[in-house]
Amino acid sequence: MTPNTKLSCRNVWKLYGANAQEFLSGNPAPSGDDIRQADIIGAVRNASIDIAEGEIFIIMGLSGSGKSTLVRCLSRLIEPTGGQVLFDGVDLLTASEQELIEIRRHKMGMVFQHFALLPHLTVLQNVMFPLTVQAAPKAEAEEKAREVVDLVGLKGREDYYPRELSGGQQQRVGIARSLVTEPDLWFLDEPFSALDPLIRREMQDEFMRLQARLHKTIVFITHDFEEAVRLADRIAIMKDGEIIQVATPEELVLNPATDYVAEFTRHIPRSKVLTVGGIMTPGTQAEGLPVPAAARVSEVAEQIIAADAPRPVCDANGRIVGSIGRTAVARVLFGTGEAA
């Protein structure tokens, strides 16, 4: 666990079945065959991850892979069968019920696929609800709720009821409600999957705008790799309850650990995933305006192909670290996606 780790889990298991706890106690590292033979379901199997402060950490997998179960273990909405879950160094699995309530009220925010808005309350009242539960003074709660409503772009709709809002607007209310307590850690379980494609894209943009301002530590579940590429700092791929690989989107594309991971990236345009730094020729010099190493190839492909010669590539500090030319870009757009 590094100094800037916000959330960490160590060897977390969630097993369902008769005597699951006793089974794990007697066999701390059971194989898949052991679990099946014991007539037990391994929903989460020996999961270990570290999530850094301010990171957008995305968990992906097919339906039934264990991603939602893992997130519920991390927030202790369900009890893990074994392991550790550390939040700011505190093991949530040893916290008392009252301590958990306080952590969830003040330090955790949660947004799920189904908005779960209270239909008899207005937008403002829905957003205020967590503060009402905390018994915050009404004037203070209303002021804070109005600020968050404005933050998510719903100013002027404070007195609307959920039935008077579009799906995207309802999801914004859910996001505002989860943010009003100013949580340190934010869990989002497929929050945009129920929205149509245009609204979904809009909500992704809104999400990134909010993160640029708020710098939350975020654990985000999705089954959509293209969405993950847009949003993630790192991605964990799960299968049958196990974490198969944790890496940046670019690393997953270039170096998939298994065929299963490779299948997730197979149909995603490489130009939307790979960065200039990932395909440049390091250490070489070129003339012209530098291209940022962190830029996606899709963002700069046209200008590089149109240039008469390779372009220099600079890091975040403006230092020239290499060059990139038409051939490398063309290979991403039309070929293997590998560097020249």
> What is the domain partition of the chain in residue ranges?
5-107+183-265, 270-334
Percent of the chain scoring above 70 in pLDDT: 97
- The set of residues, in sequence order, having a beta carbon less than 8 Å from that of 101 and lying 6+ positions away, is none
Kindly indicate the confidence band of residue 295, based on its pLDDT and cuts at 50, 70 and 90.
very high
CATH number for the segment(s) 5-107+183-265? 3.40.50.300
Does the pLDDT at position 80 exceed 90? yes
- Which pLDDT score, from 0 to 100, does residue 337 have? 46
Q: Dig out the tokens for 29 from the structure.
A: 């590292």
Closest CA to 278 of 248, 317, 310: 248
**Between these two residues, 276 and 337, which has the higher pLDDT value?**
276
The yes or no reply on domain 270-334 and CATH 1.10.3710.10 is: no
Look at strands 217-221 and 185-189 and give their pairing: parallel
State pLDDT tens for residues 302-312: 999 999 899 99
Does the pLDDT at position 339 exceed 50? no
State pLDDT tens for residues 226-276: 899 889 999 999 999 999 999 999 999 889 999 999 988 888 888 989 999
Segment 182-210 shows an average pLDDT of 86
The answer to whether the 5-107+183-265 and 270-334 domains have the same CATH topology is: no
Cα 34 to its chain centre, rounded Å, is: 32
Percent of the chain scoring above 90 in pLDDT: 60
pTM, entire model:
0.86
